[in-house]
Structure 1
Amino acid sequence: MYKDKTGKELLELLEQQSLLTFESQLLLKDEIKEKGIIADTSELDKTIADKIKRIKDFEYLKDFGFKAETVDNKFLVTRTLNATLTDVFAVVLGLIVFLIGVNGVVNLVLTFVNGEELDVFTLAVKFIVAGLIFVGFRFFSGLKRLFDYSGFQLARIDGDITLKKRFDIKLEEIKAKASDLFLHRDGDDMELKLGDEVIFSSNAESLVQRMTLEELSKRLKGK
């Protein structure tokens, strides 16, 4: 990424390192070292070390809507309250938008049935309001997450993995060996899987998210 950058350009980037992505920060550090540029990289080193610590502490797991903690010698991953509340809010908002859209569709149909004469702007507004019915549908994805992760638990207990997750509607518990847990990349998604079941996925293009799942996989495997 920085091979073609001059020393001056690299130093300018160093001054703005806090604005760079984690991957860019790592590459910048390597490039400065490789080119033998004398510079104070203490702030960059501190930023990188802080992010690595936060990855190992699973702080970025909250970006997926989950948290990890050790409870009674059991390493446990559960859904965060904020993620659940966000899904509830999305469902409620989606329902409101959907109902507005339904009302807009009815109003639009009655407009044509009654042969009302409207200006272009008013007609466009009616079409936009009617189109909210499709926007409302998009918010309902939160409903699926609420069902899928209601009662969710992923735990390592005495070297074994236990997964509680809803498949369809029923909450089921799967017990497996740590060796059955693995990471699988599918296009832009990095999936944490237990056998054939996808536990959850992240953005494989994000180094922070990818490293978070890798660290989680290691912790669950007891490494």
Structure 2
Amino acid sequence: MYSEKTDKELLEIMGHYHTLTFEAMTRLHGEMEQRKMVVDKTPLTAAITERKQRIENLELLPAMGFFATEDAAGALVVKRTLKAQVWDVLAVLVGLVVFLAGVYGCASLFSMFANGDEVNVFSLAVNLGMASLVYLGFTMLQGLKRLVDFMGFKMVAQAGTVSLSKRFDMKLENVAKPSEAVGLEYQEETVALYLGDLPVFSANAGNTLQKLTMEALAARLHKS
């Protein structure tokens, strides 16, 4: 990312390090270290350290729709955030409206040709546009599955045992397994948290912060 930059350009980039992503900051720091550049990197180093600390403390988990706390007994508790639940509900409602608008567009198109009415270019374009909303609405309705899957979701890790409450095929299941059963599965686009052979939730593997947060969560569950 920065190997082709001159030292002067690296210094200019470091001057606005706060606008960089975490991955970009770490790569910039690494490039400067590799070149053994004699410059005060304290602000950049501090920013990287602060972000790593937040990752280890699971403070970035809410960006993925979950949050982690410790209860009075010291157990690690992971739940779905209220904000994520609200967004899932809104996505389903908007998706339903968009889908129905698309169905109406399809019906209007069918009626237009079935009745042998004179085709108006403007009406045709409008109905084609509305009909195309069917796919978009259907895609948004996929949020319904996520909403249902995480109704009643809860994950608790304590004394070497991880308990999971999650819906599988609509039914709320309660499973408890040793902490060693916690694992991560890496794919090209996602990194998924598993408890044994049960999928818990996944994140975007292309997002460095999400990937590192998943790894930090898995480590905390192992230790609990």
Once the two structures are superposed, the pairs formed by residues 1-223 of structure 1 within 5 Å of their partners are 1-72=1-72, 73-222=74-223
Q: Distance in 2 between matches of 1:128 and 1:115?
A: 20
Map Cα deviations across residues 152-209 of structure 1 (whole Å, 9 max, x no partner): 1111022201011101011011110011111121222111111111111112222211
TM-score scaled to structure 1, two decimals?
0.94
Query: Which has the larger displacement, 141-150 or 45-54?
Result: 45-54
Shift of 1:132: 1.2
Q: Distance in 2 between matches of 1:18 and 1:122?
A: 50
Deviation of the 1:18 alpha carbon: 2.1
RMSD, aligned CA:
1.5
Distance in 2 of aligned mates of 1:58 and 1:12: 32
> TM-score, normalised to structure 2's length?
0.94
Cα distance in 1 for partners of 2:101, 2:173 equals 37
Cα distance, 1:131 vs structure 2: 1.6
State the secondary structure of the residue aligned to 1:37: coil
- Gaps of at least 5 residues in structure 1 are none
Query: Unaligned 5+ residue runs, structure 2?
Result: none
SS at match of 2:30: helix
CA shift, 1:43, in A, is 2.4
Identity, % of aligned positions? 39
Letter of the 1:98 counterpart: F
1:199-222: CA deviation from partner (whole Å, max 9, x where unpaired): 111122222111111111111111
Find the aligned partners of 1:136 and 1:86 in 2 and give their Cα distance. 15
> CA offset at residue 36 of structure 1?
2.2
Deviation at 1:102, TM superposition (A): 1.5
Which ranges of 4 or more aligned residues in structure 1 deviate by more than 3 Å?
A: none
Partner Cα distance (2:24, 2:107) in 1: 52
Q: Partners of 1:9 and 1:121 in 2: how far apart?
A: 54
